Amino acid sequence: MSQVRWNSMLGEWVIVTPKRAGRPFQEKDRECPFCPGRPETRGPWRVLTLDNRFSALSPDGGPVGLQEGVVVGAPAYGFCKIILLSRDHKQQIETMDDTQLALVFSEYLRVYSELSSQPGIKYVMEFENRGKAIGVSLDHPHAQVYALPFVPPRILKEAEQSKMLWDSEGSCPICQTIEKEVKSEDRIIKQTENFISLVPYAARLPYETHIYPKTHVSSLVELKAHLLELGQVIRDVVQRYAAVFEEVAYVMVFHTRPGVGDNPYWHFHVELYPPWRDRSRLKYLAGIETGAWTYTNDSTPEEKARELRSALS
């Protein structure tokens, strides 16, 4: 069984999961396990959520109290799901029509609502890994969901920064960012009625893109009336990536509120991280990034925003 282990040097939980080393990789002549007609994908469906057979987490045994500094290791309680975004092996988000997009984002909401209500779950992270450039093992369009027994360190850091500004100024970093970016327009990719996509002012990666709701909402639940519009904005960003890169590859993560405590300061958003330095060269994370968590971006966000803006013009 997988374990969570406390890293006392960094003050964070690590999931140790040797089982995942045996997960399948999509080989050229191998049948896709996610295409219709396979044992788990029979019957009529357009979007389908499955248990991850190579899960890093398991609900077996129930929740385990994790007390930092007291508990140093425990069974890795939680849930891992796979969301199949389409029956069509080649239908990625940039080619989906609005009907399919609405189904996909309604499923994101349904799965989030279901897992966030489970006992012992402190954070639900929905994300999509795509492309051989980032090591994706299966090509079929799919996303993943981890329902975790702890709040991950990146989210804790965002929460700390957001709460500090909320307590001092009654605002959040994203609300202030939207106000500033709308005035300058230098880094905006596109605006719709309820969302804005942009390359952030201090982007860690050259083509990093964020999507913000213009209203201060904490999760997909409050965006229920605008799920299709959110999907359309994400589709627009990925279409721009497809126009710029030789291979569409990215990590997309929904940054939703922590599942514990009162979080009025949290502003839901989506972050996309392509691994590219330019059209075909990868941006490798090396010494300063991996060893110090300090990123060097060898381009300007303004330059990359212009490139993405013009990609579909």
pLDDT band at 26 (very low <50, low <70, confident <90, very high): low
Domain boundary residue among 87, 122, 148?
148
Task: Judge if 57 and 134 occupy the same domain.
Answer: yes
Task: Judge if 295 and 209 occupy the same domain.
Answer: yes
pLDDT in tens, 145-174: 999 999 999 999 999 999 999 999 999 999
Six token digits for residue 140? 């079929």
Domain boundary residue among 101, 129, 148?
148
Domain boundary residue among 128, 148, 168?
148
Instruction: Give, in degrees to the nearest 5, the angle at Cα 178 between 175 and 179.
Output: 90
Nearest to 116 by CA among 13, 268, 3: 268
Task: Give the whole-number percent of the chain exceeding pLDDT 70.
Answer: 96
In the block, tokens 């964070």 appear at 12
Task: Judge if 165 and 306 occupy the same domain.
Answer: yes
Six token digits for residue 191? 């605006």
Task: Judge if 27 and 139 occupy the same domain.
Answer: yes
Task: Judge if 69 and 157 occupy the same domain.
Answer: no
Task: Judge if 144 and 157 occupy the same domain.
Answer: no
In the block, tokens 């381009």 appear at 299
User: Choosing from 142, 210, 226, 255, which is the catalytic residue?
Assistant: 142
Task: Judge if 295 and 163 occupy the same domain.
Answer: yes
pTM over 0.85: yes
Six token digits for residue 62? 């129930």
Question: Does residue 142 carry a catalytic annotation?
Answer: yes
- Could you give the number of structural domains in the chain? 2
pLDDT in tens, 273-298: 999 999 999 999 999 999 999 999 99
Residue 240: which CATH number?
3.30.428.10
Structural domain containing residue 67: 3-148
pLDDT in tens, 77-126: 999 999 999 999 999 999 999 999 999 999 999 999 999 999 999 999 99
Nearest to 237 by CA among 223, 226, 248: 248
Task: Judge if 303 and 158 occupy the same domain.
Answer: yes
Element (H, E) at 183: helix 173-184
Task: Judge if 132 and 257 occupy the same domain.
Answer: no
Task: Judge if 70 and 101 occupy the same domain.
Answer: yes
Q: What is the DSSP letter of 79?
A: E
Q: What is the DSSP letter of 289?
A: I
Task: Judge if 103 and 66 occupy the same domain.
Answer: yes
Task: Judge if 214 and 250 occupy the same domain.
Answer: yes
Using the predicted structure, report yes or no on whether residue 70 has a pLDDT greater than 90. Answer: no
